[in-house]
Amino acid sequence: MIKYHYIHIYRTFILLIFSNFSFTNLNLSELDLVKNISSSKALSIISSGVDKCNNFFQNNKNLNIDGKKFKNFFICKFSKKRNRFYIYMLAVDRIDTLTLSDNCQGIIKKWPWILDHMDEKLNYQKKEFLEGFYVDNLFNDQTLSITKNIFLDKQILNNEIDKFILENKDSFSLNNEQNNLLLQKEINKLNRVYKKILYDEVSDLDSLIKKELDKITRYKIFLNDIKTFRSYSCTWTPGKGLKPYIKLEKFSEFENI
C-alpha cells in the first residue's frame, strides 16, 4: 500500500511538471513517457511502432528487389540518441552507369507507398507500416481490423472480447460485480477503438504523433561501390521531395544508436 502511494505521488509529480509545458513541444520519447506514466498498462508508442513496422516489411512478400539476393532488407529502428526513426535498406550494389542519386531514386520508385511519403501533397495518406505508432488504434496489442459491415464487425468485436477473457482469465475472481466492471471497461475501450477507426477519427495524440513522425522519420538506402570499396547512403525526409541527401558512410554508422 505504501509502495502504491509513492508511485501515485511520483506520477502526479511528473504530470505536474509536464503540465507546465506545451505537449506540442514534446518529442516522441517524451510523449511515450507521459503516456506510460498515465497508465501502468499503456503500450509503448515507440516499441509498438518499431515492432509493427518491422513485422510489416518482414511479412510482405512483394518487397524483394532480387529474390535470390535480397530478402527483407528493410529495417525499422528508433534512435533515442538522435531522436530519429529510420527505415533503412542494407545494402544494394551500385550501378556504375547511374549517378548515386539516380541509382537510389530508381530503387525507391519501386515502392509507391514509400514514394508517396516524399510528396508533400500526398503526406496525408496513412502508411500501414507506421500504424503501430498510433496506439489508440490497438486492442489486445494488435490493430483492430474492421470491415465496416455491421454484422461482420459485431462478430469481430465479440471475438475480441472472448479472446480478452481467455487471455486474462487469471484476473477474474469470485466477485462477479468486480468481474463485470473489469469486462465492461474492456468493452468500452473496444467500442472507442472501433468507433475511432469506423469514422476515421483523429485524436489529439494521433495528430501529435503524426507531426512528430513526419519530422523525425528518415528513409535510407545504403549503396555499396564494390570497385572503390566505399559505401554511400541516400536519405529522404517525408514531404521533402524525391531528391536524396547523399553521404559517404562509415560502416559503423548504425552500431551505437
| Residue 19 grid cell | 503540465
The residue that leads in pLDDT, 239 or 141, is 239
Q: Which pLDDT does position 105 carry in this prediction?
A: 94
Confidence (pLDDT) at 245: 95
The residue among 82 and 38 whose pLDDT is bigger is 82
- Which residue would you say has higher pLDDT here, 196 or 17? 196
Does residue 15 have a pLDDT over 50?
no
The amino acid at residue 65 is I
Residue 257 in this model has a pLDDT that exceeds 80? no
Looking at the DSSP bridge assignments, the partners of residue 78 are: 85
Residues 5-27, mean pLDDT to the nearest whole number: 48
DSSP code string of 168-218: TGGG--S-HHHHHHHHHHHHHHHHHHHHHHHTT---HHHHHHHHHHHHHEE
Higher pLDDT: 15 or 95? It is: 95
d(CA 91, CA 178) in angstroms, rounded, equals 55
pLDDT tens per residue, range 44-80: 889 989 998 998 888 875 655 554 455 546 899 999 8
- Which set of grid coordinates corresponds to residue 76? 525499422
SS (H, E, C) 70-104: CCCCEEEEEECCCCEEEEEEEEEECCCCCCHHHHH
- Does residue 177 carry a pLDDT above 50? yes
Neighbour order of strands in the sheet with 230-236: 74-79, 84-93, 217-225, 230-236, 245-248
Query: Would you say the pTM of this structure is higher than 0.85?
Result: no
Q: Mean pLDDT of all residues in the chain?
A: 78
Per-residue model confidence (pLDDT) at position 186: 82
What is the C-alpha separation between 215 and 83, in angstroms, rounded?
Answer: 10
Closest CA to 32 of 117, 132, 127: 132
Which is more confidently placed, 63 or 42?
42
Residue 10, pLDDT score: 42
- State residue 9's pLDDT score: 40
Check whether 22 has a pLDDT greater than 80: no
Q: What is the pLDDT of residues 182-208, one digit of tens each?
A: 888 888 878 877 777 776 777 777 888
Of 19-33, 69-83, 234-248, minimum mean pLDDT range: 19-33
